[in-house]
Amino acid sequence: MEELKKGIYRHYKGGEYRILNEALNSETKEEQVVYQDIKNESKIWVRSKKMFLEEVEVDGIKKARFEFLSDSEEAPESLEHQYKRALADYHNLLKQSAKDKSDFVKYALQDFLQDILPVYDHLKLSLLGLKEEDNDNPWAVGVRHVLKQFKDVLESKGVMEIKTVGEKFDHNTMEAMDGTGETVAKEVMPGYMLNGRVIRPAKVIVK
């Protein structure tokens, strides 16, 4: 007799069953199949192995009484379960696509900022050497006005300057050029963050 593979079978009328075991009729010694209803596991059935494996004729077409589906211990996924899983995957894809698009827009300025930030830094440096009596010089007033506009525009795009002097040294946002302490004593070059991501670490001296 044909070997019976363990696993999940579908009856030609549509029901699905899990093979539990094979047995022998104590009186006739006929081989039996013990199987369980997938949808209602409290239902356990016994059928002769010969009948279980035989073919039946439906509308003039011969087909297996029980069609083998899977050797898995789990029942094949129902169409409803497959649909729900596919729908969940689709929603996850939409969320990931939206996040990727948001991240692209958020960080698209990074390369441009690498070119423009040195100009901003040089403008700030141009005021550091001014004498007190030159603070009201129209040129100095104009540069400070431009710097404020520059800063406002950068902040509106999510660019923030990293605080350094007097702050505790942070290896995530700063690069120590000299010193061995934990407090920033001097800023050598400003650092910046774009929407929470470091685009240029601040170069500092610690004490």
CA nearest to 33, candidates 41, 20, 22, 17: 22
pLDDT score, position 191 = 96
For the domain 107-206, what is the CATH code?
2.30.22.10
Lowest mean pLDDT among 10-19, 89-98, 102-111: 102-111
For residue 56, list its beta bridge partners.
63
The tens digit of pLDDT for each residue in 105-119 reads 667 788 788 888 998
3-state SS assignment for residue 67: strand
What's the pTM? 0.50
pLDDT at residue number 134: 80
pLDDT in tens, 38-63: 999 999 999 999 999 999 999 899 99
Question: Domain locations in the chain?
Answer: 8-70, 107-206
For 8-70, CATH number out of 3.30.300.210, 2.30.30.320, 2.40.50.140, 1.10.3720.10 equals 2.30.30.320
Rounded to whole angstroms, how far apart are CA atoms 11 and 116? Answer: 72
In this structure, what are the phi and psi dihedrals at residue 160, rounded to the nearest 5 degrees? Answer: -125, 140
Residue type, 138: P
Residue 163 phi, psi (nearest 5): -75, 135
Residue 180: pLDDT over 90: no
